[in-house]
Structure formats: C-alpha cells, structure tokens
Amino acid sequence: MGRKPSRQDIRILDAGCGTGSGTDYLIYLNPKAEIVAIDLSEKALEVAKERCHRSGVLTNRAKSVEFKLLKLEEATQLPGEFDLINCVGVLHHLPDPIKGIQALAQKLAPGGLLHVFVYAELGRWEIQLMQKAIALLQGDKRGDYRDGVSVGRQVFSSLPENNRIVKREKERWAMENHRDEAFADMYVHPQEIDYNVETLFELIEASELEFIGFSNPQYWQLERLLGKSPELMERAKGLSDRERYRLIELLDPEITHYEFFLGKPPLAKADWSVDETLLAAIPEPHPCIMGWPSQSFLNYDFQPVTLSDTEFAFMQACDEKKTVREILENVELSLEEVRSIQQRQLIILASTT
C-alpha cells in the first residue's frame, strides 16, 4: 500500500458507476487512463455523463472515457482487461454478489487492483431493523420507493425521541437522508446483503484474488483497542489476521462498511520496512489529500490532519522529486516518523529499486 503505480496509461473500469461521482474523481486523478463506466440504469448514466461534463474533467482531464449500459455481472462482455476496477456500493445490492465479484476478477489484468466497498452488518444494525419494519408496513406495496419513503418518514416522526433507531439516524445518517433518494437507498432498497469479517472473506475467497488490505488500515490495528493491556495483546498474537479483524469489529462494531483492495498476481510490491528500500524511494504528497500545501488539511478520508513543523518540512520537500535519503539530509525526521507519514497515507512512494 502507498506505492505509486509504475505507469499512468492504464485501463480503468468503474463497475456500477451510478450517477458518476466516483467516475468524475477517477478521471480527475487519472488523466492518462482509458476509463469505462458501466451501470444498469440508463438514467443514472445520463446523470453521470452530465456530471462529468459540468465538472470539466471530460474536456480538461480525460484521455478516453466511455459510458456503457451494462449490468455488473455482464462485465465479461467488455473487450480487454483492466488495470484497476472500481466497485463501490454495488456488490451488496446484487442477488448473487459472488457471481458479480467473479465477473470482475475475470476482467482484471495480471498485476491489477480491484477496489471494493460493501456494507458491514454490525454498524448497520439499526438500518436493517428499519428496513424490515418499513417492508412489513408496506405490505403488497413493497418495491414502491415513494410509498416506502413516506412510510419510513412517518415511522421516524412517530417513534419516541429516545428510541435507538431514531437516535442512530440523528447521530449518523440524518444529514444525507434529508434527500428522498438517499433515504430510499438506505431504507427501502429491495436487495441488500450486509457482511461481517467472516462472510466478507468468503466473498473474497470466491474471487480467487489476493487480499491486499483495507483502505483504512489504522482502524484494523488491535493496538488502538487493547494496547493498554500487554497481556491481552500477547494472547492475540496467536490469532490469524482474519481472527484479529473479527475481534476488532466485535469490540468496536461502529464500522458500517468495508473498503479494501484485491489484486491479481503477479503483484508489484515494495517492503517499506526495509530501511534501504524506504531511503531510496521518491515520496510525493498523496493525490487525494485536500488543502495541501498547508500544515493542516484533510486526508484521503476527509479527516483533519495537523502536521508537526518537521513533518510539514518533509512533505514540502516531497514536491521536489528527491529521495527520502536526500530529504532527510536537510530535515530532522527519523525513518520511523517517515513510515508513520506513509502509513497514514499522507504520501505515496515511488520505488527506485
């Protein structure tokens, strides 16, 4: 993770692009790429095209962009293979997610990456309850989105203020659910499969791809939960990675989704724990941070970050195409502190070895 791709002229598939917010971002970040965006909704594709036109990426950034009316499971019909496949918020809405992820795996080029986002059951427990309640009250009108939204809003307005479902909605979702479309997508969608770590890895194994890692690796560090107890950390050493992930979600069941990367071997990897490899790398500010250059900005996950003076000096030097070794000749930062910056995904590293 955190390794800059060796080339920029890649092929990208946005599998289930919806109204194009992700497609727009992919075009912006990859102006030399050939991008194909597919969706089963003709109306969504029209919105996606218009969004990308309005943002200017189609005229100012894009090399090649195609929008195609196609189900995710039919992606195998597309010509060629893709170096990056983006699949956000789609697989969990399919009747057969395994069939969907296998179709995407077939279109992934050797050395390519598949970026996936699916729902997690523990952090969406109240949503599941509300979905089932609305469905019961809808009766034979299930599948009618307008009726479902009307029923759902009446339920929320009728329940006591201290009701757990109401409190969760106000704390977590109300800001986005003021739009009926968002409310319907959350509470009235007729098809949804939510995962836990165990069922998630069953899905991953069905793809026959390699699990690279979660996009929020800090969340999956057991130290943040049990680090105060050396005895418990020692007990956890015998757990497999998957068991550790399961333990983390059981102890902190706030996660509402899993976002992760899979890869098709052979995969280019760099071991940044090796001092010489890190020292020879060329760092760049992560392209997804917002507000740079500044000592305070938003990271790739829109979380606020404030750098120390030396961290800021290091990252400023990352714009100069120097190696880590060359930067550290003038900035008093340790290699472990550089690794911390990289692990927080504030920089990406280009390997020179």
Check pLDDT > 80 for residue 2.
no
pLDDT, one tens digit per residue, over 133-161 is 999 999 999 989 999 999 999 999 999 99
Let me know if 15 is exposed, middle or buried by CB neighbors in 10 A (0-12, 13-18, 19+).
buried
With a cut of 70, say whether residue 199 has pLDDT above it.
yes
Q: Where are the domains of the chain?
A: 11-121+193-263, 124-187, 275-350
**Predicted pLDDT of residue 74:** 97
pLDDT score for 20: 97
Q: What is the CATH number of domain 11-121+193-263?
A: 3.40.50.150
Say yes or no to pLDDT of 206 above 80. yes
Start-end of H helices in the chain: 21-29, 42-55, 57-60, 97-107, 125-138, 145-158, 164-168, 174-177, 180-187, 197-207, 223-226, 230-236, 241-251, 275-280, 309-317, 324-328, 335-343
Asked if the model's pLDDT at residue 40 lies above 60, the reply is yes
Contact 187, 126 (CB under 8 A): no
Q: Residue 37 carries which DSSP code?
A: E
Cα 308 from Cα 296, distance rounded (Å): 9
Question: How far apart (Å, rounded) are the C-alpha atoms in residues 200 and 205?
Answer: 9
Chain-centroid distance, C-alpha 237 = 28
> Looking at the predicted structure, is the pLDDT value of residue 61 above 90?
no
- For tokens 């090399």, the residue is 63
CB within 8 Å of 50: residues ≥ 6 apart: none
Residue 1 has a pLDDT of 56
* Contact predicate 102/207, CB 8 Å: yes
pLDDT at 7: 84
For the cut 90, the answer to whether the pLDDT of residue 352 exceeds it is no
How far apart, in whole angstroms, are the C-alpha atoms of residue 228 and residue 123? 25
Which residue matches tokens 């019909």?
Answer: 77
What SS3 class is residue 171? helix
Token pair for residue 130?
A: 């509300």
More confident residue, 50 or 8: 50
Considering the chain, what is the average pLDDT of its residues? 95
Please, which residues have CB within 8 angstroms of residue 292's CB and are 6 or more apart in sequence? 285, 315
Closest residue by Cα to residue 88 from 190, 27, 15:
15
**Backbone Cα Rg of the chain:** 22
Token duo for residue 55: 């943002």
**Distance between CA atoms of residues 42 and 38, nearest Å:** 10
Residue 35, pLDDT > 90, answer yes
What span, in angstroms and rounded, lies between the C-alpha atoms of 252 and 244?
12
What is the distance between the alpha carbons of residues 276 and 234, in angstroms, rounded to a whole number?
30
* Whether the predicted pLDDT of 113 surpasses 90: yes
pLDDT at 320 over 60: yes
Q: Give the pLDDT of residue 351.
A: 85
Say whether pLDDT at 219 is over 80.
yes
Cα(92)–Cα(118) distance, integer angstroms: 6
The mean pLDDT of 200-204, rounded to a whole number, is 98
CA dihedral (87, 14, 83, 240) in degrees, to 10, reads -10
How large a percentage of the chain has pLDDT more than 90? 91
Hey, what amino acid is at 253?
Answer: P
Confidence tier at 214 by pLDDT (50, 70, 90): very high
Residue 310 has pLDDT above 90, yes or no: yes
What distance lies between CA 67 and its chain's CA centroid?
22
According to DSSP, the residues that pair with 213 across neighbouring strands are 261
pLDDT at 132 > cutoff 90:
yes
| Full DSSP string of 206-252 | HHTPEEEEES-GGGG-THHHHTT-HHHHHHHTTS-HHHHHHHHHHH-
Kindly report the CA angle at 179 between 154 and 258, in degrees rounded to 5? 100
Which percentage of the chain shows pLDDT scores above 70? Answer: 99
Q: Specify the pLDDT at position 299.
A: 94
Tokens standing for 52?
């990308």
Residues 263-293: tens digit of each pLDDT: 999 998 888 999 999 999 999 999 999 999 9
Please state the rounded mean pLDDT for residues 184-205. 95
* DSSP letter, residue 71: -
